[in-house]
Every structure is written in structure tokens, then in C-alpha cells.
A and B are shown apart, each in its own frame.
Chain A
């Protein structure tokens, strides 16, 4: 990865809640190379969506304290970009798709209108061209009978078809980066497989970079090349996907991987992670995983651990484990 397409530096996002200020995303850094597929995985509330939304500055400003940090893209800092320029990038160079395809589509506009809107906005094409392009795009996302479907309203489409339309809208302007936030979570497994196939093919054909957000380790394994694991607003581990599944460094990653029900073998009892996800407003000194960590040490509850290099292209936020690994490699 020579010069990354997008580089997020120390992004912190805080929200005001009933119980005071809470840090949803805590000094998150990440980089996506050109044509790369980065996976972000974590349980609910770990800050995946907030990270993604912040890249496009799609936050209700009133409840948010201005996110801090830097988001480098094309020589600019997206966090300080004027709103007008930001709007050009949004949906143009960086596109996003969401979990719930129904609420992201406007129920009173036809598919043609919705795809065309993005094209007219970003490329200034006329109505007829927009319609023609819309049909091509529906073909591209493999919606059968595109010429007819283009005039339908979203509610006539199934969940899978709606997600295809969302993808068509997202890729309409040939974005350089596609951020997909749980794009298959609401779909049935056979439809999920179709959408994942589609996303992978499009990524190759269009040479896009993709950030795929999910809570499903299976989806990560299938789609991503590099993976970033989040826990309670922090990045706890980043690694090339193969390495992470073969040898997780952070105890949380390890716990998650062993707790997943197995499809290919019979297990008597699943190993579990004790306790539950911490309250987002709770103050946990030291390592935020320490109350649940089976390998917790005295120092973990005291010092906030840093993200440490744990091999080539790997980082983990767990000093004891990183040290143990380093010893192993030396020996």
C-alpha cells in the first residue's frame, strides 16, 4: 500500500447522552489502499457505524461534539472540508450503503428517479441519459428485466432487490471508495451470498476500494483482505485476514472466534466470553476489555494499553499478548 486512498488518523467522536458525554469512537486510525477490501468487525455499539458515518460527516451535528482527528482523502482533510465540497465527494467519490435498504430508499420515487438523481447531481447528465444509465446499472447489479424494473417503486421489490438498487445508486458515479455498513445483515443467507458475490465482482470490475462493516466473522473471512476488530469504541486488532483467523492476538478476537457456533463440526459446549458489552457511558480504567478478559493482569486495569505492532502489518491493543508473541518469535 504505497499511498493509501483514505487515511483516518486518531478519529474521536463523542455524543451527548442523558448520562453525560460518551466516547463512541476513541482515537481510531485506519487506512484503505486503492482497490483494497477492508473489513471492520465488532459487536453492536463498538463504534463501527459511527466511524463510517464520520468519514462522510453524516452526523446529526447537534448531538455530536465535532469529531476530532484527521481524515485524509485525495490530499484533503474531510473533517474540515467546506460543506459544498463534501457534498461533491459524498455519493460521488465515496459512496455508502446501509443495512436497511428500505429506509434508505425514497418510497415515492421510482428506481429510475433515485438512480438518476445521483447522476444528475454529480455528473449533470440529462433525464434521458440518466434513465439509460439507470437501466445499465440495474443490469450491472444483476437485476433481471432491468428495463421494466427501472420504473417500479421500492416497496414492490424484495429486500435483496432493494439492496441491489442501493448498490446501483452507490456505484452510479463510479466511486473510488464504497463503504458498506452491514449490507447483508437484514438479508436471508442465500440472498446474502448473492450480494456478497455481487460486491466482490463489482469491486474487481470497477477497481473500487471497499470498507465492509459487519458483526459476522464469516462475512469478514469471505470478503475482506485486511480486518480491523473494534471493541467499545477502540480498535483492538488489525491484521491481514488470514493471519487473524489463524492466530488472533487480542484475547477479545480470540474469544469471538471461539464463541461462534460452528457449522462444520459438532461441539458439545461452545466456549463463551464472560459478561456483556460494557455500557457506552461507563468509565473503565485501563484496558476496556479487562473486566471480561480471561488473561487479565494487574497492569491491564491500570494503564490504558496502546495499539502495538505485532508483526508485519499487524497491530494489537494488548501489551501482555504482544510481548508474549515477540518472545516466541525470538525463541
Chain B
């Protein structure tokens, strides 16, 4: 599958993820028996420099877990993550992570929980600088002003506290903080999901501008397929911990192959009163606590076959940079 992604492009990917697995130990109910929950199940993908991989899926599909694995917030159970040539998984992972840490950043979903209410905006933004250390007072202050300007906020807000700002403005502050040490790769975990429609477009455009100006690469996580279309270069669709389909944006939206992707695209209500949506897909997302063998989508899939309930379909390249995990292909 990596071969498939590579043939598509000449430049080498800066992020390579192979067979990544993350399991959590959980207890069922209070004091119940321990169980293992596989939140991320053998996923592989690449991100090329200066591009955006959109990661879509419904809640609990493992998107945030993937994002947190990528910046070393949580350790992987197995598999490999290499960032800028450093492998942050495995025995020497810690040391490798320390080397690339300043190139990685994260933008969070919740505009209210992602800023410390007891810190002034300027200190929130300068936090990565303070942690890295070695900046003079003046350089730090200059950088904060510069960052505020970059995200379209007046310099004076550095002295204020986060609760004085709206959701959209706080999201800008969160973005400024992420940019403090000039990262190369930013994981954006649903950065516009909590925002009002009129704010969403502003933030998406800001992220696009920053990418152009600073050459950033993004992993952009969202549950909203339309939002992903407006920002991503490539799109990966996640279902119950696995990637079921990956493709360049134009390919995925015009010719989705996986039955889940098709259902997902069809289910999105369009702002077009003349459109008649086909009947909704039945069933619910299966529990990942005790997965059945075979394809995770089998219980809801309109094209399910006998083989689907026995063998888990492996991701297979189908041309045009398209990778699909389904027995139909």
C-alpha cells in the first residue's frame, strides 16, 4: 500500500505510518472485568510535505487516537510511525521524538478547554517557547505579537484572558500557540467542529493561508466530509479503528469505492431542497470492544458477501492513488 501511495508522487512523504495499532485497557462497567479495546487497528498512510491528509469518520472511530499517536502524546501498541525520518515508535522512540518534537504541533477541538483559563493569552501562545527555553524576553514578546498578527488578532489581546474571547477567536489563539516554534506538521483535531457556521469558513481559510505561507503539512481530522473537502489534499476514511479507504480528494469525492464511504457521503444533508437522499443506512457502528471476525462494516453493508464475515479485507491499491479495504475490489 505504501507503494501505491508513493507511485503517485515524486517527493518522499514526511510522515509515514505503517501497521499502527493502539490498544487501551478498559474495564467494563464499574469494577467489571478488564478488556482490551483496539481503538486503532493496523492503519498505514503517508503525508507528503505541504499537503493535508483529511481523516474522516464517525465518533469513536479512532481519529483522535491516531492524531495523538502521531505527535507522541500516547505510545503506540505496535506498528511504526516515522516523522521526518525519525522513527518515534519502538525502543529508541523517546529519543527520536525529542529530536522532532519542535516540528510537531496540535490544534484542539474544544475552544473552551484548550486554553488555560488562568493564563493570559500571551502566555498561552508562548507556552511552547517557554517550554523550549532559551528565548530572551524581548524575542518572546516580539514572537507573540507576530503570531497574533499571523492569525488575525490585535496585539493587545496578549494581555487578556481566554474567557474574554469567542469560540472562533479562541481557536485562532490555539492556532497561534501551535505555530509558536514554527512547526512543519500540525495535527488539527476537529478544529472547526465546535464553531458556528460563520466562524468555520474563517478558520478553514486561515489554515489554508498558513499552509501556503509557511509550507505546513496537516493531518486534518473531522467528522464533516464537506469541511474536509474544503481543506484536504488527500482523504482517509476511518471506520471502527481501521482505514477503509484512502484517495486523493478529487478521486474520493467523485468516485468513492468503499460502501461505507458511499453511505457516508450520501447521508450528509445538502443545502439543496431539491435533492432526495436515498434511505438512510441501517444499523449502528459496531462495538470495537468485541469485534466480530471479518469486515467491521459487514453488519450494515448493502453489498455484504459470505467472505466478508470471515476475512478482514486488507487495504488494496486500485489505481489513481486509491486504496480500498473491501472484498469488492
By a beta-carbon cutoff of 8 Å, the part of chain A in contact with chain B is 43-44, 158, 160-161, 188-194, 196-197, 215-222, 241-242, 245, 255-257, 259-264, 266-267, 269-273, 276-277
Contact = CB atoms under 8 A, between A and B. Distances in A.
B84 interface: no
A300 to B, nearest CB: 18
A261 B230 contact: yes
A271 B201 contact: yes
A193 B281 contact: yes
Interface in B132-185: 166, 168-169
Point out which of A189, A241, A260, A262 has the most chain B C-beta atoms below 10 A from its C-beta.
A189
Given A245-B271, A260-B226, A160 B197 contact: no
B11 interface: no
Given A256-B198, A266-B229, A218 B58 contact: no
Contact of A221 (B202, B272, B282): B272
Contacts of B282: 194
A188 B225 contact: no
24 contacts: A188-B59, A190-B281, A192-B267, A193-B269, A193-B280, A193-B281, A194-B280, A197-B280, A215-B196, A217-B271, A218-B269, A221-B269, A221-B275, A241-B273, A256-B198, A260-B197, A261-B224, A262-B229, A263-B226, A264-B270, A266-B229, A270-B201, A270-B230, A276-B166
B92 interface: no
B205 interface: yes
A272 B152 CA distance: 14
Contact of B272 (A190, A245, A276): A245
B248 to A, nearest CB: 12
Contacts of B224: 189, 261
Contacts, number: 128
A220 B47 CA distance: 36
B307 interface: no
A218 B226 CA distance: 11
A125 to B, nearest CB: 31
B223 interface: yes
B201 A277 contact: no
B230 A267 contact: yes
Nearest to A184: B269
Contacts of B268: 189, 218, 263
Contacts of A266: 229, 249-250
Contacts of A245: 271-273
B4 interface: no
Given A193-B266, A221-B275, A261-B227, 6 more contacts: A190-B280, A193-B269, A194-B282, A221-B272, A261-B224, A271-B201
B288 interface: no
Interface in B197-243: 197-202, 204-205, 208, 223-227, 229-230
A236 to B, nearest CB: 13
A191 B267 CA distance: 9
A219 B275 CA distance: 12
A273 B191 CA distance: 18
Nearest to B199: A276
Nearest to A268: B208
A270 B204 contact: yes
A33 to B, nearest CB: 18
B17 to A, nearest CB: 24
Interface string B252-296: 010000000001111111111111010111101100000000000
A161 B229 CA distance: 30
A203 to B, nearest CB: 16
A190 B281 CA distance: 6
